[in-house]
Structure 1
Amino acid sequence: MKKSLLILALAVFSQIGFAQVQLSEDEIEQKIDEIIPQLSLKEKVAMCHAQSKFSSPGVPRLGIPEIWMADGPHGVRAEINWDDWGHAGWTNDSVTAFPALTCLAASFNPEVAMQYGNALGEEARFRRKDIMLAPGVNIYRTPLNGRNFEYLGEDPYLVSTMVVPYIKGIQSNGVSACVKHFALNNQEEWRGHIDVQVDDRALREIYLPAFKAAVTEAGVWTLMGAYNKYKGQYTTTNKVLINDILKGEWGFDGVVVSDWGSAHDTDEAALNGLDLEMGSWTNGLTASRDFAYNEYYLADAFYAKLKSGEIPESVVDDKVRRILRLMFRTSMNTARGFGSQNSEQHQQVARKVATEGMVLLKNEDHFFPIDPATTKTIAVIGENATKMMTLGGGSSELKAQYEISPLEGIQKRFSNAKILHTLGYSSGPSWYGRVIEPKENQDSLYQAALETARQADLVLFVGGLNKNHHQDCEAGDRLSYNLPFNQDALLQDIVKINPNTAVILVSGNAVAVPWLNDVKALLQAWYLGSETGNAIADLLSGEVNPSGKLPFSFPVKLEDNAAHSFGKLSYPGDSIKQYYKEGILVGYRWFDTKQIKPQFPFGYGLSYTSFAYNDLKTDKKAYTTNDSVEVSFTLKNTGDVAGAEVAQLYVSDPKCSVMRPAKELKAFKKVFLQPGEEKEVSLSVPASSFAYYSEETKGWVVEPGKFILQINSSSADNQLKTTIEVN
């Protein structure tokens, strides 16, 4: 016993420089075997629940440290008080704000995802966090979901491909990523109790792949449960999801963390795989019972059932083993570095993600780029030109060291021009859980915007959504697909006065664009973090050529979206249950299969240059499911400026015994080309990925036959096509 205590003491001392050796996985398991017998039952139970809003206890007498965590996924959240949701008032917790994950997804660049994750991990490590409560990989099912901006889009392959390097980047710093929210948390409306009814095929093909990739490919160390139910049982303590699939099929060896208040029962929490309970008696941010930690489901009630033998001690031992394993990877990892915060490198990463992720949706008559050397009068209209978007939004709020607004970026880059600015509308202050009405007179702002538009050579309307309640914000969904605050009417009146108008759309969601035919250009700008204004100016001036592609489809009208097409029982449900009636036909799968034309398709995005695809080849024409299909083609920049194109490979199964989507994304590559440059692009796709999930056999099936391979520039724009056979 003395020997093992000494080892633990050395582990703690080594964090301040006495040793720098990371234990192997086998050595970690051996240490855990030595530690568990030394823990009392009360100490074991204490490790399984929170001691504050964002920490869980260690065991001081054995030198076992606490676990500290922080919200993400776009930066490290400001310090919160021990037992309430107030800001702690620290002066050293201002961070780099990175772009929202919708922007990262739109980059279609896994290398950028790795840089993003590493920079975020460094900031978390500097703040001495052991768990970063990120990333979110819930699928974009409806454009009304208030939390879509935190996620990575509608396609499970895209989400999986982008999330793996993001997780690896974070964890390379000895900080655990915590993939969330497992599973089926695809709306905020009634999130705390809505019972999702979804068929097994949609669950496996659409909603679980990104979580599986996080576990089996990225090796994520923690996973957060969701608030909602799945087939009658809360997802955080759901036997099928947690025990059977996550820890059983996928072999997850990490820690399952509850969302704040998502546990509801001691027996289910104990027996259905929850390891660390956080935030019980809170609805997320606004309600809480003071110092209730011993009343948690995995606290005194759990201890009583263990002590009586109603629950075997092996149950808590498994949870403690997982928690200790996490500690050896994080808080007791003596080899991890010290991290850094607000470094120039982090700021450059934020800017790079922002510029690669913005999507040019319309550019009539080459309206963009604007020549900074030409003296013009530019009217910048819209509240989003100056509104801070790192504030609000719920748990993803940030205390940024700085945030360069779109107006600041435009003023700096176009210093030769006369820049006019007016709000046009006002949304009111951000407040979690409710809408605060603005104090400004909306009609006066409206008229001032029209007068400003008259005085300008061109108008840049910077509008969209923001982080207020019922917009892009946790704990509530949007109430309308249209832009709020009368922006649609304002835009249409501005265009009548000044047809030389472009829109910079700041949002994390698709919106209706009834004015699209009347404006010259449209740039989807997302929430871009600290470097917002600089990144937008980079694209407007042509210093950077836009290369982002949409990670989700824009329907023309809300009823064109699959979830909404089936009525209220599909979304948002009847307040008790909801039915995913569209099954696997989510996003572009729905539009393509049902032949409904979207406003903008998945994978779509324009450039200041043009590209030509030619000479599609496969390494052979017939494959088995053990083979990988090797595809190659040439891609040429046929324009006069450097640019990047995202080539997308879709697979179709035209003859199958079950319904299949018209096509599904199976590979992509972002290719950077100089003017006139041509490259051969190679993509490799496992033939086994052509499978569908069979509800009859409870497994994956590739039916023999012909498959069509399409090389596209978006889900709706085919460039090359060939047919192969799989036996």
Structure 2
Amino acid sequence: MQLKHAAYWLPVLAARAAPADDPQHHQITKRDLAYSPPHYPSPWMNPEADGWEEAYAKARAFVSQMTLLEKVNLTTGVGWAAEQCVGQVGAIPRLGLRSLCMHDSPLGIRGTDFNSAFPSGQTTAATFDRGLIYRRGYAIGKEAKGKGVDVILGPVAGPLGRAPAAGRNWEGFSPDPVLTGVGMSESIKGIQDAGTIACAKHFIGNEQEHFRQAGEARGYKFNITESSSSNIDDRTMHELYLWPFADAVRAGVGSVMCSYQQINNSYGCQNSEALNGLLKNELGFQGFIMSDWQAQHTGAASAVAGLDMSMPGDTEFNTGLSYWGANLTLAVLNGTVPAYRIDDMAMRIMAAFFKVKKTIDLEPINFSFWTLDTYGPIHWAAKKGYRQINYHVDVREDHGSLIREIGAKATVLLKNSGSLPLNKPKFLVVVGEDAGPNLNGPNSCNDRGCDNGTLAMGWGSGTSNYPYLVTPDAALQAQALKDGSRYESILTNYATSQTKALVSQANVTAVVFVNADSGEGYINVDGNLGDRKNLTLWKGGDNLIKNVSSWCPNTIVVIHSVGPVLITDWYKNPNITAILWAGLPGQESGNSITDVLYGKVNPSGRSPFTWGATREGYGADVLYTSNNGNGAPQQDFTEGVFIDYRYFDKANTPVIYPFGHGLSYTTFKYSNLVVQKQNAGPYQPTTGSTTPAPTFGNYSTNLTEYLFPSNQFPYIYQYIYPYLNVSDPKKASADPRYGQTAEQFLPPHAVDNASQPLLRSSGGNSPGGNKGLYDVLYTVTADITNTGKIVGDEVVQVYVSLGGPDDPKVVLRDFGKLRIEPGQTTQFKGKLTRRDLSYWDVGVQDWVVNGYEKTVFVGKSSRDLELSAKLQ
């Protein structure tokens, strides 16, 4: 079981490199990669980690005062619907710490009122604007803090976006790891600067909804016994899926959520290679790892594999049973879970807390996720503790203006033959259900689990309630009335005769609104089990566009969608004079698109994904049917690092609109590319060892001291406590294996507490990996001239060809957004780090700059690269 990286991966790579007709090629297949080697012991915190020193010292002072029961209480959730938030751990009242609140979501606070509904992560990424991404994160963090939320469950880098039909891609940023890494970093900085702990999720390889949870899949009549396995090779893991999480760790993220599915046939929340090896050891993550809700499958095994917090605490919702709680108390007392591990769990939670919060004096939790009623039971599942639970605190401030700005600046102008911007059109006609309201109200479908009216967010736990939703119909009508234009709208996709009669009239400018939705797997919308069934527009959107454009020679199409849709059949139609992708823009949807259509905002959004001509052109897709009998479905990532534009380039496939594409109402000229080598020193692999594992406090082994204190407070039904019910350990555990030693059922070295050698790729004291990776090797400058007549923002993109036979044709490595006046020339400044020019060497187990010739490109998209230069 103690396979080392090089010993395992080198023969695999040799087999993969062999010609297809060589017998060696068939000796080790991709399925043989579906094994996750053990990595133990779980790394403990580094008191000298950059940016964590003060937090560590405060956490040590706090944790040193805690009893074992208090540490278990801090690490174990109290159960589903046991308190006000979607997840909470036990309080430490003796030390003045209330229960910590963990709560969704990536685009706003889920299930509350008087909060904002922000644009999705994917939509925000389309701005290619670091400042806007930060401001959105700060606003979300501030609203969360105002509600009493301590950990906001976002941002999202998993799914990255491997399969374009995957249901939750819109919660994240982009299938490009660099753009997603920037989205993660800036969001985390904003959220935590506002006083709320960010939680980077879902770690890792969580790339589809089908089969992510065996129980959920069985509810859809799939006959499987285990959740699916994402089978990812080492190089792909590092260069693609781990990349944005490294940026998250480098940004100081306080928590990381492990995922539902398996990684190389080991569950994400007990995968020691992922949690101990990649995250805590290689990346030097100093915060805490929490489980996704019901993603924990073991007790002691998940503890030694690196899990620090169990969410929501019960084994299954509302069972009252827990892998941790009393069982974790027993496991520490009998030595199955080493004392240092429970101390490290508590340290990591409190260090993240003090890094962001500074003090234990917290705002009260002033809402209940379970109801919007003002009064109700504080313990929702048990229906106990009736009191005021919702205070309806308005935390929105002026965030509506920010949401409107992001929505407009994220809108991607895909095509424009001159019909935009609008200027007091004589007769404006708006067509399509997507322009109008949900007739039952914008929040009428639970967690937005429907597609009625205009689409401004997907569905699932990554949603929030709208405080209002400005529809495109309402905003465009208001503008038309202001201009004196004639205005009519038909807010259905199926009134064919009425639509024809209207748009066939003279002087019509027709704007057609269409959409495509998706979300989380626990909600089924029209047979879409989270993941989309296809990449076509919903509710006959394609036919609506074809019909209107056949009747009206000036048809403008606006797409609200969760990702790419197939537009092959109609995008070239000359009667379609403009196409815009508006993503999922949140509560100011109508105002944002109106600002762009009328030129109040010059469009500067860039597509965060590729628009392919066919579904097959993307190379990777959702696994919709089980392929492993009734066992764990096997999702083999055979495409490696080649997803989205990387795959299109490898296959040399034409695309309709490339990654990074977006037009403006002005024009820009690129010139004078200069690439200058910097004086970075040589790369120094990390050496040395950690200190031995520290422990804080001694524990009594008298089990009577751990019994439930019924004389102090009443027992709450289904609530998860750290206390034992009886003093007999075997009866208390209800585990027939009780009494076995750790060595009998845990992997070798799982409970070691001696000093450990540092990985050469680790950062030592620098979270995010070896600090030499972030040395700037080259600076890149270019002159950008606005050759048009109006001011505009240009997104300048830097790509690199790494030159190797197994490398993508080009990869995005940097970008910047410049605001340039007409006739003005502004210099773009970018940089290339050592990581940007490296590949992951599976034999060396480190990042290496190979000897192949490398080229830097500067341009407007992945396939519009105007300037290039060879690197020295």
TM above 0.5, one fold? yes
Match of 2:673 among 616, 621, 625: 616
Query: 3-state DSSP class of the match of 2:152?
Result: strand
Partner of 2:326: 300
Instruction: Write out per-residue CA displacement over residues 31-59 of structure 1, whole angstroms, 9 at most, x where no aligned residue.
Output: 44444354333322122121233211121
Distance 1:397 1:185, change over 3 A: same
Partner of 2:426: 375
Partner of 1:396: 462
- Is the aligned partner of 1:355 residue 2:408? yes
Distance 1:566 1:148, change over 3 A: closer
Matches within 5 A, 1:670-681: 670-681=817-828
Mapped to 2, the partners of 1:446 and 1:281 lie a distance apart of 53
- Is the aligned partner of 1:262 residue 2:295? yes
For 1:485, the aligned partner's letter is: K
Matches within 5 A, 1:213-612: 213-216=247-250, 218-279=251-312, 289-290=317-318, 292-293=319-320, 295-330=321-356, 333=359, 341-343=394-396, 345-364=398-417, 366-372=418-424, 374-386=425-437, 387=453, 389=455, 393-415=459-481, 416-425=484-493, 445-455=495-505, 457-466=508-517, 476-513=530-567, 514-518=569-573, 519-564=576-621, 576-612=633-669
Aligned residues of 1:472 and 1:508 also touching (Cα < 8 A): no
Mapped to 2, the partners of 1:493 and 1:281 lie a distance apart of 53
Query: 3-state DSSP class of the match of 1:685?
Result: strand
Partner of 2:789: 640
Q: CA deviation at 1:400?
A: 2.0
Aligned residues of 1:555 and 1:598 also touching (Cα < 8 A): yes
Aligned residues of 2:210 and 2:623 also touching (Cα < 8 A): no
Aligned residues of 1:504 and 1:522 also touching (Cα < 8 A): yes
Partner of 2:126: 106
Instruction: Write out per-residue CA displacement over residues 537-562 of structure 1, whole angstroms, 9 at most, x where no aligned residue.
Output: 00000111100111111111010012
Partner of 2:154: 134
Query: 3-state DSSP class of the match of 2:859?
Result: strand
Mapped to 1, the partners of 2:330 and 2:678 lie a distance apart of 64
Partner of 2:698: none
Which stretch shifts more, 169-178 or 35-44? 35-44
Distance 1:269 1:492, change over 3 A: same
Q: CA deviation at 1:705?
A: 4.5
Aligned residues of 2:163 and 2:622 also touching (Cα < 8 A): no
5+ residue gaps in structure 2?
A: 1-50, 214-226, 367-392, 438-452, 684-775
Match of 2:233 among 191, 199, 213: 199
Partner of 1:429: none
Q: CA deviation at 1:700?
A: 1.1
Q: CA deviation at 1:108?
A: 0.5
- Is the aligned partner of 1:77 residue 2:110? yes
Partner of 1:171: 192
Mapped to 2, the partners of 1:515 and 1:556 lie a distance apart of 11
Q: CA deviation at 1:152?
A: 0.6
Aligned residues of 2:512 and 2:558 also touching (Cα < 8 A): yes
Distance 1:34 1:122, change over 3 A: closer
Mapped to 2, the partners of 1:570 and 1:613 lie a distance apart of 50
5+ residue gaps in structure 1?
A: 1-23, 80-92, 283-287, 426-441
Mapped to 2, the partners of 1:467 and 1:569 lie a distance apart of 21
For 1:465, the aligned partner's letter is: A
Larger Rg: 1 or 2?
Answer: 2
Which stretch shifts more, 339-348 or 114-123? 339-348
Distance 1:688 1:49, change over 3 A: closer
Query: 3-state DSSP class of the match of 2:469?
Result: coil
For 1:515, the aligned partner's letter is: W
Aligned residues of 1:359 and 1:550 also touching (Cα < 8 A): yes
Which stretch shifts more, 486-495 or 383-392? 383-392
Mapped to 2, the partners of 1:343 and 1:31 lie a distance apart of 32
Partner of 1:161: 182
Q: CA deviation at 1:25?
A: 5.4
Distance 1:679 1:271, change over 3 A: same
Please report the TM-score for the alignment, with normalisation by the length of structure 2.
0.72
Matches within 5 A, 1:40-51: 40-51=67-78
Mapped to 2, the partners of 1:154 and 1:476 lie a distance apart of 18
Mapped to 1, the partners of 2:473 and 2:594 lie a distance apart of 9
Mapped to 1, the partners of 2:353 and 2:779 lie a distance apart of 42
Distance 1:275 1:448, change over 3 A: farther
Which structure carries more relative contact order (alpha carbon 8 Å, separation 6+)?
2
Mapped to 2, the partners of 1:475 and 1:275 lie a distance apart of 31
Distance 1:538 1:190, change over 3 A: same
Instruction: Write out per-residue CA displacement over residues 78-127 of structure 1, whole angstroms, 9 at most, x where no aligned residue.
Output: 24xxxxxxxxxxxxx22111111111111111111111111111111111
Distance 1:238 1:143, change over 3 A: same
Aligned residues of 1:206 and 1:584 also touching (Cα < 8 A): yes
Mapped to 1, the partners of 2:275 and 2:622 lie a distance apart of 31
For 2:475, the aligned partner's letter is: G
Query: 3-state DSSP class of the match of 2:871?
Result: strand
Bigger fraction of residues in helix: 1
Q: CA deviation at 1:335?
A: 8.9
For 1:190, the aligned partner's letter is: F
Aligned residues of 2:197 and 2:353 also touching (Cα < 8 A): no
Aligned residues of 2:430 and 2:513 also touching (Cα < 8 A): no
Query: 3-state DSSP class of the match of 1:136?
Result: coil
Aligned residues of 1:98 and 1:350 also touching (Cα < 8 A): yes
Aligned residues of 2:434 and 2:455 also touching (Cα < 8 A): no
